[in-house]
Amino acid sequence: MTTAPIDPTTTSAWAELVAHRDATTPDLRAWFAADPERAQRLSFEVGDLHVDLSKNLVTDETLVLLVRLAEEVGLAARLEAMLAGEHINVTEDRAVLHTALRRPPGAEPRLVVDGQDVDADVQGELEKVFAFADRVRSGEWTGVTGERIRTVVNIGIGGSDLGPVMAYEALKPYVAEGVELRFVSNIDPTDVAETLAGLDPATTLFVVASKTFGTLETLTNARLARAWLWRELAAAGAIEDSDDARSDAVAKHFVAVSTALDKVAAFGIDPENAFGFWDWVGGRYSVDSAIGTSLAVAIGPDAFRDFLAGFHAVDEHLRTVPFERNVPVLMGLLNVWYVNLLDAHTHAVLPYAQHLHRFPAYLQQLTMESNGKSVRWDGSPVTTQTGEVFWGEPGTNGQHAFYQLIHQGTRVVPADFIAVATPAHPLRDADAGDVDVHELFLANFFAQTKALAFGKTADEVRAEGTAEEIVPARVFDGNRPTTSIMAPALTPSVLGQLIALYEHITFVQGVVWGIDSFDQWGVELGKVLANQITPAVAGDAEALAAQDPSTRALIEYYRAHRRR
């Protein structure tokens, strides 16, 4: 689909939204008091997720106008084009088919794109990944000493790291006993050094995840890991000091997630042990592809299939449910409302589930790499603000850190609160009257959204006997927007549902803004300049002289203070 995007600011719905905003004073206390059914009417189910939108700064009219905006910018046609495999990633001339990664086996009608049977390709690669995972988990796959693998180190960056590490942390209760995952991403040598510290090379397997097998950070760390493996195995007397022995060690202790099989082979990895994916999968959308190989080893193929099923449930909801009840559509439109009409610049994601502690970081890449754009998909300038800064930490930690700003600051900070009904570890505090600690935890979850929505008036503060001079400091204005998302438990399926929900929220926003949410040219320039600057850092006088004065001075400071 290469037709020009529809400028949202030219639609009748946009004009009506502006007028509606100007005529409406948000008052959640009054809205709830006048409408006893508000919470029920503005709560929705998607898969296993219960999503309460009632504490957002919207009326029924707001939602009607937002849905009309989606219709007027052509959201339905854009969604259909994506699911059909049209090349909606126009700057790279690619399809966008992350939803194909989780179509169930035998799905009908078959998905054929650009002459390729996408379903057959996806299922074939999944089966290859699962067969490998079973070999590692069963102990059939061994290292050079014949010992089973106990630690899998995933080496990747961006989507090749953030997805697997977030999912591994989220699904810790499903990880097989005797299997540990570790992750290396940063080119800072501290990362690889500390990740490998204390590992037994004989029981360690590396998964090098790089589609092109040319990512600077990933390949640098892979070479450092390979050198560590050779050194430690030789020191332990496990291999001889010979090229053949080193080659055998790499073949037994390294696999790849890549489609560049020639480069994989040149590194020493058997191409038979390389798992591929496709150019229609962006890195930040790839955790449910072969990029999840290390995760499949940890949780096993059955749990990984459940993970995929969770994604697919939300895909089907997006595809089939009318916009006025479509959760990712409504949440995406709410974000547009806050960014473009209420001047919000950031969005907090606050999981009240410790296993989701890396979820906000994962969403940072998903949302900001997707929608951090200033031109539309036809190359013309955007006509609105785009994107928002996603951030967050698990509750209750965040309550003791930054909630002050959300409650009483001067900025509108929409916040998503996420919780599960059943904890992984249902502990009780015997010394505090045998209190259920998860219930204590969720009391905070419920209390925070209530406080943000309804606040505390000056009269309520005075009624507590507060001295008049400090009453203003203890007033909470309320009307701070939140969405509450709950699930029965944090299962593989529920995690897949959460990820897909935010993928589609991001897509909806991108369509309204008319941008290509699936390219990421903004990450390129810094990498190109880093390659140009590297000789200057290493001491090349000519390269140093070519730098701007600030960069040159910083490099000179580094060289003067670096201890060798």
Q: Which residues are catalytic?
A: 369, 400, 527
| Residue keyed to tokens 């606040």 | 455
Query: Count of CB atoms within 10 A of residue 504's CB?
Result: 25
At a CB cut-off of 8 Å and minimum separation 6, what does 303 contact? 171, 174, 492
Strands 482-489 and 49-52: antiparallel
Q: Do the beta carbons of residue 17 and residue 337 sit within 8 Å?
A: yes
Phi-psi category of residue 372: left, alpha or beta, with phi > 0 → left and psi -120 to 50 → alpha: beta
- DSSP assignment string, 104-124: PTT-SS--EETTEEHHHHHHH
| Residue keyed to tokens 């194909």 | 100
Q: Do the beta carbons of residue 544 and residue 39 sit within 8 Å?
A: no
DSSP bridge pairs for 182: 153
Phi-psi category of residue 130: left, alpha or beta, with phi > 0 → left and psi -120 to 50 → alpha: alpha
Assign 522 to helix, strand or coil: helix
Distance CA 69, CA 66 (A): 5
At residue 535, what is the residue type? P
Output the CA–CA distances (angstroms, integers) from residue 246 to 213, 241, 529, 534, 552, in the order listed: 20, 7, 35, 30, 41
Is the previous residue joined to 396 through a cis bond, with omega within 30 degrees of 0?
Answer: yes
Distance CA 481, CA 452 (A): 7
Assign 531 to helix, strand or coil: helix
**Helix H or strand E encompassing 182:** strand 180-184
